[in-house]
Structures are given as C-alpha cells and as structure tokens.
C-alpha cells in the first residue's frame, strides 16, 4: 500500500507539471504584419507558433479585438494562409544570461548571431519584460563614472547609475561617441543595443569602432532595419534584461542603445497595425506609454548600477521633436551633438552649452564645479562675440571677460576635442581642467 501511494504522489506531481491540452487556434486574417487568430484564453506577451506550410513563424500576443487575438510575428512570415494552425506555447520570451555573453553578438530575440555556437558556461533565463527597481530600493547616485571622454568627464560629469540621452541628427558622431565610452569607461560590462541599425554599419561598429578590446567586455544585441518591427522593439527589452542581470550580480554596467527613435518608430508600426489611432506626428499613444517603462528599468539597483546612454535621432536637428521631448523629460541629463561643430571638424561634436548633467552638482567636488562653471562662462561669452570676431568688428579691451574668453578658447578646444581612439583617465582630465582655469579659486 505505501508503494501504491508513492506511485500516486509521483504521478500527481508529474501531472501538475505537464500540459495535458494542446492549445491551438487558427488564422482568420492577416493585415500588414498583424495576424488575427482564434484560440484559447492567453495573456498579453504569450508566445505562439503560426504554421504556414513547411515553415512556422514565431509570434507574440500583442492585443485583443473582440473575441480574436492579435499576434505580431517575431520572425519572417512565410506561406501563411487563412485557417493556418496556431499553437500557443503558454510561455513568454526569456533571454539566456551569464558571463558567457561577454564578447558575443546576439540577435533581437537574444539568440547568438555571431556563428560561435551556444552561450558557454552556466546560464539563467530572465524574462525580457521586467519591472523597474522600486524607487525606495534604489541606491543613491553618489560616485562618478569616468567615461574617458574629456568633454563629458570635465564639464558634464556623470554618476554611476545615471541615465543620459545623446541627441543628434544623422551623421554627427553618435556611434563614434558610444564606442569611445565603451572602450574608455570604468564600467565592468558594456551592453550595447543597435536597434534599427543599417546592416552595413553593424560590422563596422563592432570591428572598427568597438574593436577587440571593447568587444571583450561587451554584449552586442543587433536588430537591423530590415527586420520585423516587433523584433526591433524587442531588441531593446532583451538588451535591458541582460543589463539588469549583470547589475543584479553587483556589476557596474554601461548600457548603450542606438537609438530610442528607431525603437519608437518600430512601436509605432506595431501600434498602427493593431488599430491604435495616430497622435503626435503619427506616433501612437502606446509609444509614449512604453518609453518610461523601458527607460526606467536602467539606473542604480540594490547592488550594482546601470549607467545608460540612449541616442535620440532628432529630425532636422529639431530638439523639440516629440520623442526627443519625451525622452528628455524622463532621463537624468542630455548630451547634444552639434552639426555646426562636426562640420568644423570638432570631435566629439558635443555642444557643451546645450548639454547638461542633472547629477553634476551631486557627484562633482566643489572645486570641480567652480572650474566647470568658469569654462562654461568663457564658452558662453566667446559665443556671444564669435560672429563679430569673424568680420573683425570686435575691438580688444571692450570687455575684459570677453578678452579672457578669447585668450582661453584655444586651450578650451584642446581640452574638449579628442581623437576617437584616445582615452584620457579621469585624474588627467581633472588636472587639465585645473590648469586651464588656474585652480578656479
């Protein structure tokens, strides 16, 4: 009798962990990239397989319309016809995390995409969709994170766990600036998401900009512009989940996403396909609801910290674009890249006067703050008379402060300009700033 009870208990345990019913439905409509299907009760974000001939397309439940399910494909749609079978997998997307990710390139779903096989070592699976750390359990941001970029470290100093936006038009040097930070920062791990990137530029960024040194301590997640909108959108969440894993193990993580704008465009495609009404400049309401849910997941945790850099592609260099405006209101500072400076050969083309670090006064010493304010003042005064200087209309001695600014401008530019492969330690940057300002009493 005891043996019978043991067998019964074992069978009951097995039954509780088995799915006894095969969850199936069928396709009723396909419009654009949105698949409408019948099926059992499922949850938002559940995965399914849509069978089309010899191929199956992975899809995710993205919404509901009356008694139908709205599915968004996570792979290429092939040979799908009305009545095609849909199998519900009753699980949500998760990504493998572990030390074996370092030096690897993943696709938008977190799968290895570099031809080097499976992720080595022990891995744990983390849900792609997560919640931000509770505000009261976040550590305060109190320590400087040196980036190796003099313009940032000297005048826009960042703290460990700060989140900043890099705002620029196309071709002004966003990717190059990210690669400089990836190679030169004090972070333990880099997690880099290339969302909606041109296929040609991916290998260039990895091999030329990032290089072997940068890649060795980085994880790169790539979803190129030709891939389905939902994969481009998911790449941002996959990268964020990986960064959260490293943060929760106590690491200092530098998270870089290029770009938030292409993420928003992908979500706009998904929203319009699901029937959402367009609002500001064609962006759907879900775009503005999703942005804080993504951006708030980075930052300090209970142990480690994610210092995040989000690039924002501003149309026509308009910093009041809806996405730029929304992102600027969420993040802890912004770095503006100027086309005027780039055209003049000033790299990195950071417009210091248009940029700000909201935690500068928290992490920088009082001497550092005085020196930085003085340099910004000189830059501002020089900018006021720059046009007059070009036409020879300014006479020396008219304004003593302007005269000092003119005298100092060459040294200021020498501090702020930097080669892409040049890395300056934080102590050296501080020494150069102090020498420039004479100690700023």
Asked if pLDDT for residue 78 goes beyond 80, the answer is no
pLDDT of residue 11: 44
pLDDT of residue 22: 56
| Length of the chain counted residue by residue | 441
* Tens-digit pLDDT profile for residues 304-351: 999 999 999 887 666 778 999 999 999 999 999 999 999 999 999 999
Helices 366-390 and 426-437 pack at an angle, to 10 degrees, of 60
**Mean pLDDT over each residue of the chain, to the nearest integer:** 88
* Tens-digit pLDDT profile for residues 226-257: 888 889 999 999 999 999 999 999 999 999 99
Burial of 138 (0-12, 13-18, 19+ CB in 10 A): middle
Secondary structure (DSSP) of 60-119: EEEEEETTEEEEEESS---S--TT-EEEEEEEE-EEEESGGGTTEEEETTS-B-SSS-SP
User: With left for phi above 0 and alpha for psi between -120 and 50, is residue 110 left, alpha or beta?
Assistant: left
Percent over 90 (pLDDT), the chain: 60
pLDDT band for position 7 (50/70/90)? very low
CA 66, chain centre distance (Å)? 35
Look at 16-20, 46-50, 317-321 and tell me which has the smallest mean pLDDT: 16-20
User: With left for phi above 0 and alpha for psi between -120 and 50, is residue 313 left, alpha or beta?
Assistant: beta
| CB hemisphere CA count around 280 (13 angstroms) | 12
Residue 210 DSSP code: I
Look at 17-26, 185-194, 292-301 and tell me which has the smallest mean pLDDT: 17-26
pLDDT of residue 436: 95
Work out the average pLDDT over 413-422: 94
Return the higher-pLDDT residue of 434 and 74.
Answer: 434
Rounded Cα–Cα distance for residues 224 and 204 (Å) = 13
Report how far apart, in Å, the C-alpha atoms of 271 and of each of 46, 71, 73, 176, 288 are.
Answer: 17, 12, 13, 32, 11
Tokens of 10: 């074992």
State phi, psi for 302 to the nearest 5 degrees.
-80, -25
pTM: 0.89
pLDDT of residue 362: 95
Work out the average pLDDT over 136-161: 95
Report how far apart, in Å, the C-alpha atoms of 268 and of each of 83, 107, 130, 174, 314 are.
Answer: 28, 21, 21, 23, 16
**Gap between the terminal Cα atoms of the chain:** 90
List the one residue out of 441, 377, 375, 440 whose CA is nearest residue 411: 375
pLDDT of residue 8: 44
Q: In order of start, what are the domains of the chain with their CATH numbers?
A: 21-92 (2.40.10.170), 95-364 (3.40.50.12240), 367-437 (1.20.1270.330)
Kindly compute the dihedral angle of the four CA atoms of residues 412, 413, 415, 418, in this order, to the nearest 10 degrees. 170
- What's the alpha-carbon Rg for the chain, to the nearest Å? 26
Longest dimension (CA), the chain: 107
The CA-CA-CA angle for residues 405, 407, 411, to 5°, reads 90
Rounded Cα–Cα distance for residues 47 and 72 (Å) = 10
The CA-CA-CA angle for residues 337, 343, 348, to 5°, reads 40
* Tens-digit pLDDT profile for residues 383-410: 999 988 888 888 888 889 999 999 999 9
Kindly compute the dihedral angle of the four CA atoms of residues 55, 56, 62, 65, in this order, to the nearest 10 degrees. 80
List the one residue out of 233, 284, 208 whose CA is nearest residue 74: 233
Rounded Cα–Cα distance for residues 193 and 207 (Å) = 15
């Amino acid at each position: 009798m005891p043996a019978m009870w043991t067998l019964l208990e074992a069978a009951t345990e097995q039954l509780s962990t088995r799915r006894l019913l095969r969850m199936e439905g069928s396709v009723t409509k396909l419009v654009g990239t949105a698949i409408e299907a019948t099926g059992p009760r499922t949850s938002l974000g559940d995965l399914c397989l849509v069978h089309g001939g010899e191929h199956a397309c992975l899809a995710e439940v993205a919404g509901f319309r009356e008694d139908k399910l709205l599915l968004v494909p996570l792979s290429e749609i092939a040979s799908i016809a009305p009545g095609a079978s849909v199998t519900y997998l009753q699980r949500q997307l998760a990504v493998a995390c572990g030390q074996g990710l370092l030096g690897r390139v993943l696709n938008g779903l977190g799968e290895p995409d570099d031809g080097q096989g499976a992720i080595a070592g022990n891995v744990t699976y983390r849900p792609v969709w997560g919640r931000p750390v509770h505000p009261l359990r976040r550590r305060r941001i109190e320590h400087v994170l040196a980036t190796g970029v003099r313009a940032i470290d000297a005048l826009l100093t960042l703290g460990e766990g700060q989140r900043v936006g890099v705002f620029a038009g196309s071709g002004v040097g966003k990717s190059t600036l990210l690669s400089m930070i990836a190679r030169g920062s004090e972070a333990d791990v880099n997690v880099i998401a290339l969302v909606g990137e041109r296929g040609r530029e991916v290998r260039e960024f990895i091999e030329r900009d990032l290089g072997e040194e940068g890649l060795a301590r980085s994880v790169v997640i790539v979803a190129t512009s030709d891939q389905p909108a939902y994969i481009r959108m998911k790449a941002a969440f996959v990268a964020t989940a990986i960064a959260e894993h490293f943060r929760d193990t106590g690491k200092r993580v530098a998270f870089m996403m290029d770009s938030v704008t292409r993420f928003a465009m992908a979500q706009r495609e998904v929203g319009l396909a699901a029937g959402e009404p367009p609002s500001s400049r064609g962006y759907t309401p879900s775009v503005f609801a999703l942005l804080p849910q993504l951006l708030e997941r980075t930052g300090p945790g209970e142990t480690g910290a994610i210092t995040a850099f989000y690039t924002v592609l501003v149309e026509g260099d308009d910093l009041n674009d809806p996405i730029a405006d929304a992102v600027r209101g969420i993040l802890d500072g912004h770095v503006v890249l100027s086309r005027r400076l780039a055209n003049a050969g000033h790299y990195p083309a950071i417009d210091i006067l248009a940029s700000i670090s909201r935690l500068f006064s928290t992490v920088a010493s009082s001497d550092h703050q005085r020196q930085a304010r003085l340099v910004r003042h000189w830059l501002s005064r020089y900018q006021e008379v720059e046009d007059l200087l070009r036409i020879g209309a300014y006479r020396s001695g008219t304004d003593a402060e302007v005269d000092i600014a003119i005298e100092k401008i060459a040294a200021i530019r020498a501090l702020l300009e930097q080669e892409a492969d040049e890395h300056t330690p934080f102590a050296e940057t501080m020494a150069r700033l102090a020498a420039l300002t004479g100690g700023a009493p």
